[in-house]
Amino acid sequence: MSTATPAGRTAARADQARQPVWFTDADCHLEDFRAVVEVSTDLGDYPYADALEQGVLVYGPRLAGHVSTPEGRRDVQAELARALSDGPGVVVFRQAVATDVVDRATAVFEAMVADQKASGGAAGDHFGTPGANDRVWGAADKLAVRDPEVFADYYAADVLALVCEAWLGRGYQLTSQVNVVNPGGQAQTAHRDYHLGFMGAEQALAYPSHVHALSPLMTLQGAVAHCDMPLETGPTLYLPHSHKYPAGYVAFHQPEFTAYFDDHRVQLPLATGDAAFFNPAVFHGAGTNTTTDVRRMANLLQVSSAFGRAMEVVDRTAMVEALFPVLAARWAEGADEQQLRAVVAASAEGYAFPTNLDLDQPVDGLAPPTQADVVLRAVQEGWDAGRLSEALHAQDERRRSGV
């Protein structure tokens, strides 16, 4: 039974009424953003943290003693969940993964980068200049297949599971991308992350505001340092508390918010084996590597909720191949475009991820075309069935794992 008072329920309804169902650019006000982010974090509210550095909560090896019992583990996870939601949105774990294990994984990742270069492949980037740095997309399964002993030792580090379960619960899906920022590599533009953070402003505006609130609850972002990262190497820049701004997936595209980030962001040095985890709605970006000799390597972890999947397995390629003659004929007869899009939405894959970013790289945006994009183009441009089938199966092949 709810314990909320009538006055409390009225206030909650008033708050909901004030937030629009559909955000627009006009809903982004820098003064409102400043009111959200210009707050202090009280270390006393987080008894398991060792320190507060530049507004970021830092946890050390003593955490292991607190998670040795089921009750202690749940208490720690409750604190981490609060830190990522109501707190600064960023937490750092010192010595999260043993240095010798990180070094062994680094050797495997370096070999992967060398293999990519030898094959002539160049990895693209979402928020930086393609080719300026080194990327290994899909590094989780590549590492497991290439060196299962290293994989097992690396992901046995309890801190990784501790924070993933704290934010996402059980059944989470871990992916990893190795990012090497070479000497001179420039800072990324401030952004939010997956899901809505990988969309352009216009695309993000197509989602109602409650989905903007849901998106960061579906993913946890993290990074394990694979080398010492003093500030001159450009470790990640953060703006604590920025995840609490409701219209942030629209605002981060606007110049005044970028300028504010550049003036107020924080940056913590990391040592080999340290890990940072953050709410994906926190404004952040990789820093500039001003050194002449340090290749700054991090294993970027993107961990997804088990709930972001459909109940049934559906062969969407078979569906749209069967439907295409009907759609093409109706379009030729002058069918309403909205009806066409509704049928495509009910049949084709309408989201670009998960995919293999070695092969299916973003073109003219932050994400590659979806299957629905291909089908709509085929109908509207008058493709024949053979051309569509070839494009669909080529797209399916690009979405397969790289191992």
What is the predicted pLDDT for the residue at 131?
A: 57
Cα–Cα distance list, 211 to 207, 214, 237 (Å): 6, 5, 26
Query: 139-192 pLDDT, tens per residue?
Result: 998 998 898 889 988 998 999 999 999 999 998 888 899 999 999 999 999 999
Per-residue exposure over 228-252, b if at least 16 CB sit within 10 Å of its own CB, e if not: ebeeebbbbbbbbbbbbbbbbbbbb
Tell me the CATH number for domain 37-304: 2.60.120.620
What is the predicted pLDDT for the residue at 108?
A: 96
Query: 197-219 pLDDT, tens per residue?
Result: 998 899 999 999 999 999 999 99
Report the distance separating Cα 167 and Cα 217, nearest Å: 8
Task: List 52's β-bridge partners, or say none.
Answer: 57
Domain-by-domain residue ranges, the chain? 37-304, 316-398
State the pLDDT confidence band at 267, using cuts at 50, 70 and 90: very high
- Least confident range of 27-36, 99-108, 118-127, 281-290: 118-127
5 has a pLDDT exceeding 50: yes
φ and ψ at residue 165, rounded to 5 degrees: -70, -35
Cα 40 from chain centroid?
Answer: 26
Of 278, 282, 277, 220, the residue nearest 251 (C-alpha): 282
What is the predicted pLDDT for the residue at 319?
A: 82
Query: 314-353 pLDDT, tens per residue?
Result: 888 998 899 899 999 999 999 889 889 888 887 888 777 7
State the pLDDT confidence band at 11, using cuts at 50, 70 and 90: very low
